[in-house]
Amino acid sequence: MHDIAQQLQAWHASGRSFAVATVVGVSGSAPRDPGAALAVDAAGEAIGSVSGGCVEGAVYELCQTAIETGEPVLERFGYSDEDAFAVGLTCGGVLDVFVQPVVPGADPGLDAGIACIASGTPVALARIVAGPGGLVGAGVAVTADTHHGALSPALSASPLYTVLERAVVAEARAMLDAGRTGQIVLGLDGRPCDEHEQGTVTCFVESYVPAPRMIVFGAIDFAAAVVRIGRFLGYHVTVCDARPVFATARRFPDADEVVVDWPHRYLDSQLDRIDGRTVLCVLTHDAKFDIPLLERALRLPVGYVGAMGSRRTHRDREARLRDAGLTDAEIARLRSPIGLDLGSRTPEETAVSVAAEIVAHRRGGSCLPLSAGDGPIHHDVTQVAAGDDEAPRPHAA
């Protein structure tokens, strides 16, 4: 929903009713990830997408029905063997789509969630998508220190539902802290359950956190191309270089920030703004900049550290880092020379190489041609790195 939040906020602020269809479950080779959303307002205007075209028409109709009836619905779409032209995913995957009507002012949880998303405030929007009828569609908006809404206002006095709500809030806050989006299954007493158990609720939690950061050290021509592709992938991109003549906004118009500072000193100042989704691209290939920077970077819990340079430069860099006291395990985190072997020559080709390695590292890709295998083309990323679920999600196929 994040990519359509601004339009949803405009509809909401104008008092316009609408319905939001959200991908809450994916299996197989489905085209969109959990959290992808399509919304339709009362006048029939549609924004967003849940499948890239496969089932948009059917979901559009579900949204219109939800607006008319005021009832949420969970629908599963998959490939039809009997009729390849029936509503379904011809790519062979399965999408679970939850459609919820929204009437501004009627649901404090949704109201607060939409406002937080539009303003950029980190929030986890938790909605019950399957379970007892009185709870389906209920939701809460959870921030770092509070929450808005209730799972069922009519049942809020019941101790049972109070316990369940507390459990949902606690689970959602933990997922917000990790930047994760996904499903949780709880018993009515709040305990974690298997999805096949009876008497449970399935809650879909969408975490909305600031865009992941890419910091590019070294204001060189290759950096400009890396900045552009970093923005394309959805990163908040900063360029840092100690040389003011090179580190200018005019040379890097696509960067969100251009900073003139020594790389290691700037990194030290950013410790509260980096996390497991942060990408560091060291393109200076100058030891007086690289070594103090990498000595710090390789000890931080960031998602990716890559450094440009020849293999000879890399060997010299490794030796210097060992002399600085880094362990073999810490040095092994360094991707150097940076990027995949694509035969790149130009800055733009090199940027594609760097971006490909970042995506493969985050998503658990093999870096082999898809034509070389016969297994799933999408990888399970839940174990790759904490916080990866809110990061940018380019379609691997």
What is the residue-averaged pLDDT of the chain? 85
Q: Which helix (H) or strand (E) holds 185?
A: strand 182-187
- At residue 198, does pLDDT exceed 90? no
pLDDT in tens, 360-369: 998 788 888 8
pLDDT above 90: residue 241: yes
3-state helix, strand, coil in the chain (%, to 5): 35, 20, 45
Q: How confident is the model at residue 188 (pLDDT cuts 50, 70, 90)?
A: confident
**Which of 119-128, 161-170, 241-250, 370-379: highest mean pLDDT?**
241-250
Tell which wins on pLDDT, 388 or 33. 33
Structure tokens at 267: 């990194």
Question: Residues 6 or more apart from 153 whose CB is under 8 A from it?
Answer: none
Q: Which two tokens stand for residue 294?
A: 């990498």
For range 264-270, the mean pLDDT:
97
Confidence of residue 142 (pLDDT cuts 50, 70, 90): very high
Structure tokens at 288: 């007086």
Amino acid 234: pLDDT: 86
Residue range 311-369, pLDDT digits in tens: 999 999 999 999 999 999 999 999 999 999 999 999 999 999 999 999 999 878 888 88
What pairs with residue 124 in β-bridges?
A: 142, 207
Least confident of 80-89, 111-120, 131-140, 236-245: 80-89
Asked if the model's pLDDT at residue 50 lies above 90, the reply is no
Residue 389 in this model has a pLDDT that exceeds 50: no
0.75 exceeded by pTM: no
Task: Give the three-class secondary structure for 182.
Answer: strand
Q: Which two tokens stand for residue 178?
A: 């990790």
Give the homologous superfamily in CATH for domain 213-367+376-390: NAD(P)-binding Rossmann-like Domain (3.40.50.720)
d(CA 264, CA 295): 9
Band (pLDDT 50/70/90 cuts) for residue 81 is very low
215 has pLDDT over 70: yes
**Predicted local confidence at residue 384, as pLDDT:** 35
**β-sheet with 139-142: strand ranges across:** 147-148, 139-142, 123-130, 200-208, 182-187
pLDDT category of residue 29 using cuts at 50, 70 and 90: low
Instruction: Sheet containing 257-260: give its strands across.
Output: 257-260, 236-241, 213-217, 279-282, 304-307, 334-335
Burial group, residue 393, by CB count within 10 angstroms (0-12, 13-18, 19+)? buried
pLDDT of residue 32: 72
Lowest mean pLDDT among 106-110, 276-280, 293-297: 106-110
pLDDT for 156 equals: 52
Most confident of 200-204, 210-214, 265-269, 343-347: 265-269
Beta-carbon contacts of 33 under 8 Å, excluding residues fewer than 6 positions away, are 23, 26, 393
N residues, the chain:
397
Query: Which residues touch 281 (CB under 8 Å, ≥6 apart)?
Result: 214, 215, 216, 217, 223, 226, 230, 306, 308, 338, 354
Q: How would residue 397 be classed by pLDDT, with cut points 50, 70 and 90?
A: very low
Query: What pLDDT shows up at residue 370?
Result: 80
**Which comes out higher in pLDDT, residue 377 or 41?**
41
Residue 134, pLDDT score: 75
As annotated, the residues of the chain forming the CATH 3.40.50.720 domain(s) are: 213-367+376-390
* Mean predicted confidence (pLDDT) in 229-250: 95
Determine the pLDDT at residue 157. Answer: 53
Percent of all residues in the chain with a pLDDT value above 90, rounded to a whole number: 55
Give the pLDDT of residue 391: 36
The Cα 10–Cα 364 span in angstroms is: 38
- Whether 395 has a pLDDT exceeding 60, the answer reads no
CA distance 88 to 327: 52
CA 101 from chain center: how many Å? 24
Rounded to 5 degrees, what angle do the CA atoms 241, 242, 246 make? 60
Rg (CA), the chain: 23
Q: What is the mean pLDDT of residues 239-256?
A: 96
Q: Is the pLDDT of residue 160 over 60?
A: yes
Average pLDDT over residues 220-237: 94
Given this model, what pLDDT does residue 79 score? 59
